[in-house]
Chain A
């Protein structure tokens, strides 16, 4: 196993608040790594530090062995690191297919227009948008827009995919379908770092889980070990006694 992404002692403060505090972790190739933590734990900030939207105050980020600390987002994207947004960001006034074609054109493969169109179609079909190819992105439902986010990222032929709450706001049927899509992505050899609040989903998807709290790593390990960690339960429930009680129950 080789590391595709290495986050080393990365830190970022906003004013006096340490959003991410000397955080280190590694993602192996073809792994699905879950990132969980209470609201404001620094999960989205961490994504922004990895793909260059923010420049870290401290530490280094390595992607496929190359140092990408502070590189501009479009450079990071071209290296093969794609992401989806928690709040969907469709390209207005463009159709589903065009949105995906932009991803294919300017992603890792840097495809010419005709081949980008093919890759775009393939990505849109992969996430299940085949009957919405010519729909303007703005007219999609929220589930459709979430799929579009994923298709667009996928069209760029990424090596590593950062998924920011792709399941939030979906109904149970849509969640099931999206989980299926994510699993098939990994089968295609794409490494995935995923932020999610739906515990059941992330526990079943992830190989490993990193838990953040106040910008620091609270715990790391397999889904089962993390779920039984009293510190994690405390961070989520805020009551040490209840946490111990719950931890005791799950162990028993």
Chain B
């Protein structure tokens, strides 16, 4: 394979990886603010995929116009999930929220399988690509990465340039102190959780514009999110985006040389290595 081919593969990997980063931002935001490992993450990614499918095929909306409804819908579903599965587990052993979100995840996937089965869905999305040398970068990949960049920038501005973002960061820093400083922490927790779920949903929607999916695809992407947040440092959304890009870069680098079935092995070898060598994450230099 030519050098251009490898570079093209890496660039494409980075484009796709940024979307993994977006998914992971949702997971890591929730962990960072409330120490909850949200195991409904996978089913929320799948929900985003199915939202794209249903909105385009049943209502006839153009694929990229589903972004806003998915964001809003994800937020509302996230609020509901918070009150159902998470609220009573706040401040208790992390295992409690792990189990409760795990159970809700099973219920949701079970319901979904009963309705749609586990057949492969494919949402046809076409968008003009960019050709470089003999290689064409699909327009869907470019657009997904661009939208990811916009959403990540919006999240950053929200967290660091608004009062509500300040409240979220304060609660992440010290919940008790934040409450005593006049912040309604329960509402802030619900908001952060809903935001995390909305990010998972949107990332699922974007992934579904790239690849075919089934109702059970969530697990694989949830696992990728874990790899990404470990790379980026737990609880650090900016790190998660960088982690996603790093993972995509790695995937792009190895796919020309190794059968696809090996990528998961490599990713998890990396996961274990990072946990041992950089327990605070490779991109977590700023956190004290």
Write the chain B residue with the least CB distance to A153: B181
In the assembled complex, the CB of B156 is this many whole angstroms from the nearest CB of chain A, namely 15
- The range of chain A's interface size is 20 to 34
Complex Cα distance, B176 from A85, in Å, reads 11
- Find A105's partner among B166, B180, B288 (CB 8 Å cutoff): B166
The 3 lowest CB-CB distance pairs between A and B, nearest first, are: A91-B173, A106-B182, A77-B182
Contacts of A184 in B (CB 8 A): none
Q: What's the nearest-Cβ distance from chain B to residue A223, in Å? A: 29
Choice from A53, A93, A101, A138 contacting B180 with Cβ under 8 Å: A53
Closest partner residue, chain A, to B287 (CB atom)? A93
Q: Which residues of A contact B273 (CB under 8 A)?
A: none
Q: Which residues of B sit under 8 angstroms from A74, Cβ to Cβ? A: 179-185
Q: A89-B174, A92-B288 are in contact. List 19 more A-B contacts (CB 8 A).
A: A72-B179, A72-B184, A73-B180, A74-B182, A77-B182, A91-B169, A91-B177, A91-B178, A92-B172, A102-B166, A102-B178, A103-B181, A103-B182, A105-B163, A107-B182, A108-B182, A113-B163, A116-B163, A156-B181
Count of B residues near A, CB < 8 Å? Answer: 22
- Shortest CB-to-CB span from A99 to chain B, Å, is 8
Residues of B within 8 A of A73 (CB): 179-180
Residues 182-204 of chain B, each 1 if its beta carbon lies under 8 Å from chain A, else 0: 11110000000000000000000
When C-beta atoms are compared, the residue in chain B nearest to A78 turns out to be B182
Q: Are B170 and A94 in contact (CB under 8 A)?
A: yes
Q: Which residues of A contact B169 (CB under 8 A)?
A: 91, 93-94, 98
Binary A-proximity of B252-288 (CB < 8 A = 1, otherwise 0)? 0000000000000000000000000000000000011
Chain B interface, >50% SS class: helix
Q: Which residue of A lies closest to B179 (CB)?
A: A73
Q: For residue B161, which residues in chain A have a CB less than 8 angstroms away from its CB?
A: 113
Contact status of A92 and B173, CB under 8 A, knowing A101-B166, A113-B163 = yes
B: residues with CB less than 8 A from A are: 161-163, 166-167, 169-170, 172-174, 176-185, 287-288
Contact yes or no, B163 A90, CB < 8 A: no
CB pair A113–B181 under 8 Å, yes or no, is: no
Enumerate 15 A-B pairs (CB-CB under 8 Å) in ascending A order. Answer: A53-B176, A73-B180, A74-B180, A77-B181, A91-B169, A93-B169, A94-B169, A94-B170, A98-B169, A102-B170, A102-B178, A102-B183, A103-B182, A107-B181, A156-B182
Question: How many Å lie between the Cα of A77 and that of B176 in the bound state?
Answer: 12
- Closest beta carbon of chain B to A49's beta carbon, Å: 13
Q: State in angstroms the CA–CA spacing of A73 and B177 once bound together.
A: 10
Q: What's the Cα separation between A82 and B179 when bound, in Å?
A: 11
Is the Cβ of B178 less than 8 Å from the Cβ of A83? no
With a CB–CB cut-off of 8 A, which chain B residues contact A152?
A: 181
Interchain CB contact under 8 A, B181 and A102: yes
- A138 proximity list for chain B (CB < 8 A): 288
B-contact 0/1 string along A128-144, CB 8 Å cutoff:
00000000101100000
Q: Is A191 among interface residues, defined by CB-CB distance under 8 A?
A: no
Please judge, given known A-B contacts A112-B163, A139-B288, whether A90 and B177 are in contact too, CB under 8 Å.
yes
Interface residues of A in 54-79 (CB under 8 A from B): 72-74, 77-78
Specify the chain A residue showing the minimal Cβ separation from B164: A105
Distance A207 CA – B170 CA, assembled complex (angstroms): 35
A contact residues around B163 at 8 Å (CB): 105, 112-113, 116
A206 interfacial contact with B, CB 8 Å = no
Closest chain A residue, CB of each to CB of B187: A74
**For residue B182, which residues in chain A have a CB less than 8 angstroms away from its CB?**
74, 77-78, 103, 106-108, 110, 156
